[in-house]
Amino acid sequence: MKSSEETDDLIYETCLIGQDITSIHELTLSPNVHTLNLHSNVISRLEGLDVLHNLIHLDLSSNRLGKITGLGTLILLRTLNLSCNGISEIQGLHSLRNLTCFNLSYNCIDNVSGLKELHGPGFRLRQLELQGNRIRSLPQLIECTIGLRSLEVLVLSHNGKDNPVCRSEHYRSLYLQSVPQLIALDGFDREGSKYSP
């Protein structure tokens, strides 16, 4: 049921995929955990993470989350996967200064204004995945991502799953022109070649 990597009785990795877990509160988690994988469970609320001060990687993909909350104490978090949930609004990110990779693909997001919480020189977000959502407004997308100073890779369309904004005329060229720090959009670099990090 539980897969962990242990060293000197300290649990650094906890993997509980597909265990029908309904709440993080029902778990006994070591404060030393660096990686927590709760993919494909039935968790509907982001709570019970406040003791995980050393958490670096968190995967809550394919659950039943509707909101982003309870991340305020995860200041070391580098990767966050919240894909394949029912999230409709981006919020609660202001303390995630070390976050470098954020996957919000396949949710119900149509407004990305919550990304402004990650604006400024103190934030490190480099890769953002948003394919399979409901984002329509190119001006809002530009406004909310231009301040992500470290952003290099943005995915709004992948394998036929996109956002309505991707179907706008000149979407790619207008976005790349407006957000100069970006290296790759939808898997292709600025020259149109396949991007591989």
**pLDDT tens across 148-179, in order?**
999 999 999 999 999 999 999 999 999 999 99
Tokens of 197: 């990090």
State residue 197's pLDDT score.
79
The answer, as to whether pTM is greater than 0.85, is yes
Give the pair of three-digit tokens for residue 70. Answer: 């309870």
| Residue with tokens 């070591």, as numbered in its chain | 30
List pLDDT tens digits, range 85-132: 999 999 999 999 999 999 999 999 999 999 999 999 999 999 999 999
Q: Does the pLDDT value for residue 3 go beyond 50?
A: no
* Cα–Cα distance for residue pair 62/191, rounded to 1 Å: 34
CA distance 116 to 119: 5
Higher pLDDT, 5 or 20: 20
pLDDT digits (tens, 9 = 90+) for 29-78: 999 999 999 999 999 999 999 999 999 999 999 999 999 999 999 999 99
Phi then psi dihedrals of residue 178, to 5 deg: -85, -25
Residue 5 CA: distances (Å) to CA of 49, 52, 169: 19, 16, 49
CB atoms within 10 A of CB 150: 14
Provide the pLDDT for residue 11.
Answer: 76
